[in-house]
Structure 1
Amino acid sequence: MGIFQLWGAFSEPGRCYAIAQPYRAPRAERWKPFASVGYWPSRRVRSQIHFRLSREKRPGSAVLLRIDDQTFQLLAGGADAWAPDARADADILSAMRTGIEMTIETRSTSGTLVRDAYRLRGAATAIDAAAIACAGRK
């Protein structure tokens, strides 16, 4: 659908999403990290936050998302992280819309600190484009 500064918006059968790559992260190994906001109309899922971490997280390690001066704890498994519930999705989305930068961090399976950083320029527009593209779909 389009690239909006540092974020892109895409529409596929059954889903729409806004997505960005980090501007600072450990060098990619097995996969590329990303941050996304997704919509799945058939599942009645709207504004779901999802992160693919640059490294698999260590079991038991917290995953923290910082957007400017706000901090959110995420649920994670392997190399993926999400908000714990729809209310947290909404709070994170609100912070993303007005924020400048977000950083997600955890410990990798080797114990090293993993920190992926994203700039939020264009995020609100890309998120809106994805939402509009999936509006009215079932």
Structure 2
Amino acid sequence: MIAAALLLAAAGVEGRTTLGVYQSWAAFRDAAPRRCFAIAAPIGAGAASRWHPFASVLSRFGKDRRGAVFIRMSAAIRPGAAVTLAIGERRFTLSARDSAAWSPDAATDHAIVAAMRGARSMSASSVAASGRPFADTYALAGAATAIDAATLGCAPSSPLP
């Protein structure tokens, strides 16, 4: 159901190819600029949102060959408030501005993706601009497969259709 909503939202983007839908996650490839990503909608959003929150892992193939973690939160984050990503017993502090949160460096990206592969859910929490704490929760069923599909879909030897 969540992945179906992502497919509908992504269907109208010109040059976007669906690489697959894997339970609560989906993988896509954009033709220009060439990029691939795995994405999911939250199963629970902690704030009423004017936009569509999501979690994503963008496949990068520059010198660092890594998946970059990016999350659009369900609320604008209070300036200076920490964003914590909880995956199982692991906690990660993300960089943030407005409603966006991302991994601060390649080592943290790598650790987050590794933690996602072995957990059932994750939640990103912070304090909204209004001062209320909130958390967005994501199921991780299908995340590993979607991340792998995005990685393979944009590998240097992978031709675009």
TM-score, normalised by the number of residues in structure 2: 0.81
Using the alignment, how far apart are the partners of 2:89 and 2:147 within structure 1? 21
Equivalent residue, structure 2, for 1:19? 39
Using the alignment, how far apart are the partners of 1:87 and 1:61 within structure 2? 22
Equivalent residue, structure 2, for 1:2? 20
Task: Name the structure, 1 or 2, with higher relative contact order (CA <8 Å, separation 6+).
Answer: 1
Using the alignment, how far apart are the partners of 1:65 and 1:26 within structure 2? 14
Using the alignment, how far apart are the partners of 1:136 and 1:119 within structure 2? 30
Backbone CA RMSD of aligned residues: 1.7
Using the alignment, how far apart are the partners of 2:68 and 2:143 within structure 1? 14
Equivalent residue, structure 1, for 2:131? 111
- Please list, as runs of the form range in 1=range in 2, the aligned pairs for 1:1-138 lying within 5 A after superposition: 1-13=19-31, 14-26=34-46, 28-41=48-61, 46-136=66-156
Q: In terms of mean alpha carbon deviation, does 25-34 or 103-112 score higher?
A: 25-34
Identity of aligned residues (%): 43
Report the CA distance between 1:46 and its aligned residue: 2.7
SS in 1 for 2:36: strand
Q: 1:27 to 1:107 in 2, by over 3 A?
A: closer
Using the alignment, how far apart are the partners of 1:71 and 1:40 within structure 2? 23
Q: 1:55 to 1:45 in 2, by over 3 A?
A: farther
Report the CA distance between 1:28 and its aligned residue: 4.5
Q: In terms of mean alpha carbon deviation, does 45-54 or 124-133 score higher?
A: 45-54
Report the CA distance between 1:47 and its aligned residue: 0.1
Using the alignment, how far apart are the partners of 1:110 and 1:43 within structure 2? 40
Tell me if structure 2 keeps the 8 A contact 1:11–1:133.
Answer: yes
